[in-house]
Chains A and B, each alone.
Chain A
Amino acid sequence: MNPEIALLHNYLIVGAVLFGLGAVGFLSRRNMIVMFLCAEMMLQGVSLSLVAFSRFHNDFGGQMLVVFIIAVAACEAAIALALVLMLVRRVGKLDVAVWQSLREDNQPEFEEEKVPEEPSEKPEAWPSLARAGLTAEVSPEKTDYRRKP
């Protein structure tokens, strides 16, 4: 068997896996940024397939397309993130399930399943400095050790 064919075969399968995983993530994650990340992953899968075909056919065409995919992905990322920021500013959340009012009348709203509350992390007790200009109040025990008895 020609190694080129085997290589093509493998690359295509890996590309398909990436694409599929990206699809899973896009469909299930509710964080808008993560959704977009998964979309980018789908693009990566496609790029991989294109590069594989380019090598198989000994033609630069596939790689050209990948270049433009990268360029367009960059533009897309810019605009999409700008829009996401705008949306976040309105509701304060990155949740895509907030935006569901564009529906038919009388359709039920998406109800969130109850998620158990995470125990909020106690803010760690970082040591804090006293404000400048003030003498630190230190208990005598702490400073007493310096005096020689």
Chain B
Amino acid sequence: MIDSQWIFTLAVLSGAVGMWLLLPRGGRGGWPLGVPLMAIALGLGASQLLRLEGMESPQRWVAEGVFFMLAGVTVVSAVATVTLRNPIYCAIWFGLSLLGTAGLFLFAGAQFLAVATVVVYAGAILVTFLFVLMLAHPRGRAVYDRSSWEALVSAATGVVMIGILSMTVADVLTLHGEQGGALVTAAEAAGPRSDGVLADAHVAHFGAELFGRHLIAVEVAGTLLLVALVGAAVIVAQTKPEQQ
């Protein structure tokens, strides 16, 4: 078996070059080479994901399949968000990525968050983005959409960061020696999830926790929202008299 380090390195290299090719670079088409490279990178990365051992067979296949699908949708949408020339398309693909993320939240048992993501994030924030895009976007495709700033350096930096983080996670979490033992202990000591985050009354517990322990934070967040609202209005309103 090839060492996971090498696979990660290869994935990083391939991903970096692919990303670079995919990024808008002044009108040149990087799709033919970039897409396969990106696919290779994602594939290599996916191969390093752990299988859910310890679960019984039928449940296991379903769980793994669902997870891979959701993760795949999320990541591919993310790539699309970053690389497409038309910003409206970027926003739409971001929406898809949000949906994938919501699905992942659901898979992890965070039901409220899944819904909140869809409703608030995809439904409100994303729509705001689209509104502003329509307000400000020029006709046709602008130069600044078709070229990027230092594509190579950015791609390399970002993908290397992914590589480092992933390799660290893989190192820590693949049960090497003492660390692994500690992890297992921690996982078991957390207790059965069905009594905690995966309980049937998950949302009720979630609400109790939110408005119980974090009440003040909630109030502050509400105030923050109000202030942001007023602030946004003020900022935009100030420039209006000039216009006239």
Contacts and interface: CB of A to CB of B under 8 A. Distances in A.
A–B direct touch, CB within 8 Å, in complex? yes
Interface of A: 1-14, 16-25, 27-31, 33-34, 36-38, 40-41, 44, 47-48, 51-52, 54-60, 63-64, 66-68, 70-79, 81-86, 88-89, 92-97, 110, 112-116, 118, 120-121
Chain B: number of interface residues, binned into ranges: 35 or more
Given A47-B105, A78-B228, A86-B239, 19 more contacts: A3-B52, A5-B175, A5-B187, A9-B49, A9-B50, A12-B165, A19-B165, A23-B157, A24-B154, A24-B155, A37-B81, A48-B105, A51-B104, A60-B206, A64-B213, A71-B225, A81-B132, A92-B138, A115-B26
A114 B26 CA distance: 7
A68 to B, nearest CB: 6
B5 interface: no
Given A41-B97, A74-B124, A85 B132 contact: yes
Given A33-B87, A44-B97, A74 B110 contact: no
A24 B52 CA distance: 30
19 contacts: A2-B187, A3-B52, A3-B53, A6-B51, A6-B53, A9-B169, A21-B162, A23-B161, A25-B82, A27-B153, A33-B137, A51-B110, A55-B197, A58-B197, A60-B209, A70-B116, A84-B132, A84-B136, A118-B141
B231 A79 contact: yes
B52 A59 contact: no
Contacts of A33: 87, 91, 129, 132-133, 136-137
Contact of B165 (A20, A94, A110): A20
Given A70-B121, A82-B231, A5 B183 contact: yes
A82 B55 CA distance: 49
Nearest to B214: A64
Contacts of B243: 89
A96 B151 CA distance: 15
A16 B75 CA distance: 10
Interface of B: 19, 23-24, 26-27, 45, 48-55, 67, 71, 74-75, 78-79, 81-82, 87, 90-91, 94, 97-98, 101, 104-105, 108-110, 112-113, 116-117, 120-121, 124-125, 128-129, 132-133, 135-138, 140-151, 153-155, 157-159, 161-162, 165-166, 169-170, 173-175, 183-184, 186-188, 190-193, 195-198, 205-206, 209-210, 213-214, 217, 221, 224-225, 227-229, 231-233, 235-236, 238-239, 243
Given A48-B104, A88-B136, A97-B144, A67 B210 contact: yes
Nearest to B52: A3
B78 A17 contact: yes
Contacts of A114: 26
B129 A81 contact: yes
Contacts of A23: 154, 157-158, 161
